[in-house]
Structure 1
Amino acid sequence: MAKFDPVRKQHVGRVESGAGSHTHYMGKRIQNELIDSISSKILDTIVEEIKRCKYFSIILDYTPDLSHKEQLSVIVRIVSLEDKPQVKEHFLGFLVAEQSTGERLTLLILKRLGELNIPFEDCRGQSYDNGANMKGENKGVQARLLQQNPRAFCVPCGAHTLNLVVAEAAKSSPDAIGYFGYLTKLYKLFSASTHRWDILLKHVKTTLKSWSETRWESRIKSVEAVKYQAGQIREALLEVRETTADPVVRVEAQSLAEEIGSYRFIICTTIWYDILYKIQHVSKLMQSPSMQLDVAVDLLKKTGDSLTCYRRTGFSDAQTTAKEMCEEMNVESVLKQKRLRSTKRQFGYESPDEPIDDALKNMEITFFNVVVDTALSSLDERFQHLEEVNNKFGVLINFPTTSNEELSKHCQTLSSALTHDGQPDIDGRELAAEMQNVPHLPSKKMTNMELLTFLHEKKLTEMYPNLWVALRISATLPVTVAAAERSFSKLKLVKTYI
């Protein structure tokens, strides 16, 4: 390398001649020593910033690495106060978890914070995925940490909530399960052969997409490719049927071409695209590191309202879109009733439901209503816990429109929630008095971060100390574990590719 670098060439020359210091930084271990030194310095800087900010939240998630060892990713979320209030999420490293029980993971986390001299008493939030050993209310990590610090509010991951909503909806109906099964067969048929993939490329602009088994909302890409190119994909399947010499592939291509050209499949495609589009957009927003609890709750509420509205008109709208797509493909827009398997009737006190002869009505009841209702029910169930935490801090943004009596009540509730061992973070009475005397705000509806920035820019932090502290704690609470998921991408890059 010295041949191409004059500075290095001069250095190597001094080392070879024996001139100068014996420390020449050309040993076989020097790279790791330099990396460790840089890592240590960065970590010290992060820890110093965490201590300056005082309040922090932890984000935890774990995954097996290439050597089949559980790697626990530790992220700390703070509100930095250097120039202006800013949310930061710092990665503190991976911890090898020999056992993934709630007890062992809790000890591992507390040990790491102790090594870095970060007091767990200043933790005000914790967020995990939906694993039982993490979020379990009895023996999970969140329960054990709450025993030591009741002020470490557990906030469920909003992005995982939406992911589970879609997953449960996709498994709620036989038609829903069958639909995604056809998409899988479609992708596998073309991707299994370069010749068949070339045929597909001749007909479409956007290729078919595979999906992650765990990130259900990402399936919108695979549904989108079919929704806007159903006719072209059908033509590609017919060409595969005519050109292939494999009888199995010929039958599979014919079967898929018939299915894609069916009125039932096109209605399912339209409905799933509409549902996934509503959820995927919000899911992307929820993964932002700067996402705030109050904004996340508002987004989830709007998603629920949007699905409720879609429940009323979505099926009729899907029929209209499906008919237009059928006309473009020159196929009949007729829904045929599926034949039901005859089963032996057993004696029972309750009579069975009367069969529905209208195929469209039957599809609306057994597919559309079931899928949307399951999504709404799942969203409401998981939304409750997030809203409970948000309600404790709701007074921080609703105080301009709250009466003095209600304001004092909510401030005392928040003060009690932020008190442990007789040590409160804020004084409820003083907080209510501060809110009643806040100067004119630019807007009556401001987010926590906007109000925090307003107090900082107007240099009012010392005049409103309780409001300042409460807003910082609220902004510190995480609403997603996306930062931990991103660290796994780097882990895979290092361990698998490099």
Structure 2
Amino acid sequence: MGHVGTDPNSPHKIAMKCYEDLKNYSRHIVDGVVLTNAPRNAKYTSPQIQKEILHIFTTKVRDVIRKEIGDAKFCIIVDEARDESKREQMSIILRFVDKDGFIRERFFHIVHVKDTTTLTLKKKICDVISCNDLKIQNIRGQGYDGGSNMRGEWNDLQALFLKEGPYAYYVHCFAHKLQLALVVASREAKSVHQFFENLNFIINIVVGSSKRNDELQSAQVAEIESMIASNEIETGREANQIVLDTISKEGIDYSQRGDAEPAYMVLTSFEFEFVLILYLMKEIMGFTNCLCQALQQNSQDILNAMKVVLTTKSLLQNLRNEEWESFLHTVKSFCAKNEIDVPDMNHCYTRARGRSCCQNEESSMTMEHYFRIDVFIAAIDFQLQELDNRFSEHAIGLLPLSAALSSLDAYKSFKIDNICSLVEKFYPQDFTEQEKIILRFQLDHYKLDVPKHSDFQNMSNLSELCRGLAISGK
């Protein structure tokens, strides 16, 4: 976006244009109804009349957007939320390149949906598109909130649109907080979910008042001072438990004492599992953090981001297949230093609570099987599944080829073979056979002309390049 007053694509300019269109429309249509045909004492303040006027305005705005799109291809961006009356509402945004070469993103419609099943969402979207004379076959991209509790519905929805529009490729919104979605994916493993629930419970108990928080900090400071005095480097195990135990015995009311007691039992009964999951999440989030940072950059380096996706998957896969023994050794070492009991990995595991879970000889599952399969591998597999859903083979192949159109760094990513592959592999029906043959020769001219032309220097994004090509006629 440029500065207000200079860039015709700025929000201010767009808003002013819409305002002028609405004002002119109201002068010819609304004024005729309100001032000419209506009685003089009419005030038009009833909710029904106001809604009718708003409906006229919204219809006019949609008509303007529809004319902007023309016969161009477009993308849909969809999200859902509940309003104040607890009704599910679905918002639809259209993204397209207008006849002047500008990339536009317009809020187009908001519709009520009786439920959020895949078929209902698709029907509503198709109704909006068809009622406004747009074609599903012209959809060239889909974007949904893949981090919501509707991940499954969105995944199914994109597949349905791909059947009707084979080029409606789904690419996850890079601005979305991927890290939060990955935490949710980890919690698909029951033990990891229980870990976060217990962690939240303990934190809420301890920091529920400034006094408890101060007690914990004071205990930790005293512990560190003691270690410095005795030249110890280990972290003791007692500080957190002492605070919880004190609250459970000396809390000012039954609520404090009652809540602190189970928190204390959780922390002391499941110490090894607690530590193992804590270390596991540290490893997983360490790998995925680099990807999150790459995807949240204001200026996207698509090639680098896709490489980070691949390396993240590889690191997680390697952790899953090769690193269990070294990971378990690290956890055991921490527990030994902090006097935390390490269960015998050959003992049987049951779902009973506490250390007695090791004593049931009828169980066929060993402790190591539980921690390795049900916790370690399960959590990593959900991470890999989430990454595969967000960065499918289509996305991994499409985005690097699309980067060949980038104007950054004096068009260094421009590659004729990549652009031709983009046409052949992802959009073959958008070009005739004759156009595909001519394309390579056109790109040879483009390579010698556009990157060296003074009007095309220092362009920072594809939107500016589209605009420049439209203005120059190149």
Q: Does 1:197 align with 2:197?
A: no
The answer for the alignment partner of 2:430 in structure 1 is 418
Contact 2:195 2:274 in 1 (8 A): yes
C-alpha distance 314-166 of structure 1, shift in aligned 2 (>3 A):
farther
One-letter amino acid of the structure 2 residue matched with residue 269 of structure 1:
L
Deviations 1:355-386, CA, capped at 9 Å, x for gaps = 57xxxx778735774146414542464366x2
State whether structure 2 residue 305 is matched by structure 1 residue 300.
no
Structure-2 residue corresponding to 1:152? 168
Which residue of 251, 257, 265 maps to 1:255?
A: 265
Within 1, Cα distance between the matches of 2:335 and 2:473?
60
- CA shift at 1:57, angstroms? 0.7
TM-score (norm 2): 0.59
Q: Give 2:261's aligned amino acid.
A: V
Alignment check: 8 A CA contact 2:416 2:443 kept: no
Report how far residue 297 of structure 1 moved. Answer: 3.8
Q: How do 1:271-290 residues align onto structure 2 when only pairs under 5 Å count? A: 271-276=280-285, 278-279=287-288, 282=291, 286=295
CA contact (8 A) 2:185 2:383 kept: no
**Contact 2:68–2:99 (CA under 8 A) maintained in structure 1:** no
Using the TM superposition, give the Cα deviation of residue 112 of structure 1 relative to its aligned residue in structure 2, in angstroms.
Answer: 1.6
Q: Please give the alpha-carbon distance, in whole angstroms, between the structure 2 residues aligned to 1:64 and 1:241.
A: 40
Q: Number of aligned pairs?
A: 384
Measured in 2, the distance between the counterparts of 1:325 and 1:340 equals 18
Residues 196-215 of structure 1 mapped to structure 2, 5 A cutoff: 196-203=208-215
Q: How does 1:43-122 map to 2 (within 5 A)?
A: 43-51=62-70, 54-79=72-97, 86=103, 88-98=104-114, 100=116, 102-122=118-138
Q: Percent identity?
A: 15
Q: 1:127, 1:157 within 8 Å by CA — same for their partners in 2? A: yes
For 1:153, what is the secondary structure of its paired residue? coil
Equivalent position to 1:238, from 245, 254, 267? 245
Distance 1:427 1:232 in 2: 73
What's the secondary structure of 1:344's corresponding residue? Answer: coil
The verdict on how the C-alpha distance between 1:431 and 1:294 changes in structure 2, with shifts beyond 3 A counting, is farther
> Whole-Å Cα distance in 1 between the matches of residues 42 and 299 of structure 2?
45
Relative distance call for 1:75 and 1:132 in structure 2 (3 A) is: same
Please tell me whether the aligned partners of residues 408 and 432 of structure 1 are also in contact (alpha carbons under 8 angstroms): yes
Of structures 1 and 2, the one with the larger relative CO (CA 8 A, separation 6+) is 1
**Counterpart in the other structure of 2:385:** 378
* 1:365 matched residue in structure 2: 372
Alpha-carbon distance between aligned partners in 1 of 2:335 and 2:258, rounded to the nearest angstrom: 29
Q: Aligned in 2, Cα 1:235/1:48: closer, same or farther, shift over 3 Å?
A: farther
Pair 340,380 (structure 1): closer, same or farther in 2 beyond 3 Å: same
Q: Distance in 1 between matches of 2:330 and 2:164?
A: 57
User: What is the one-letter code of the residue matched to 2:165?
Assistant: N
> 1:242: how far off?
3.5
Alignment CA distance shift 1:307-1:370 (3 Å): same
Q: Is the 8 A contact 2:291 2:308 kept in 1?
A: yes
Q: Look up the SS of the partner of 1:152 in the other structure.
A: coil
Look up the SS of the partner of 2:358 in the other structure: coil
Q: Is the 8 A contact 1:411 1:429 kept in 2?
A: no
* CA RMSD between the two structures: 5.2
- Aligned partner letter, 1:307: L
**Alignment match, 2:278:** 269
Contact 1:125 1:151 in 2 (8 A): yes
Does the Cα contact within 8 Å between 2:78 and 2:90 map onto a contact in 1?
yes
Q: CA deviation at 1:46?
A: 3.9
Q: CA deviation at 1:435?
A: 3.6
TM-score under structure 1 normalisation?
A: 0.57
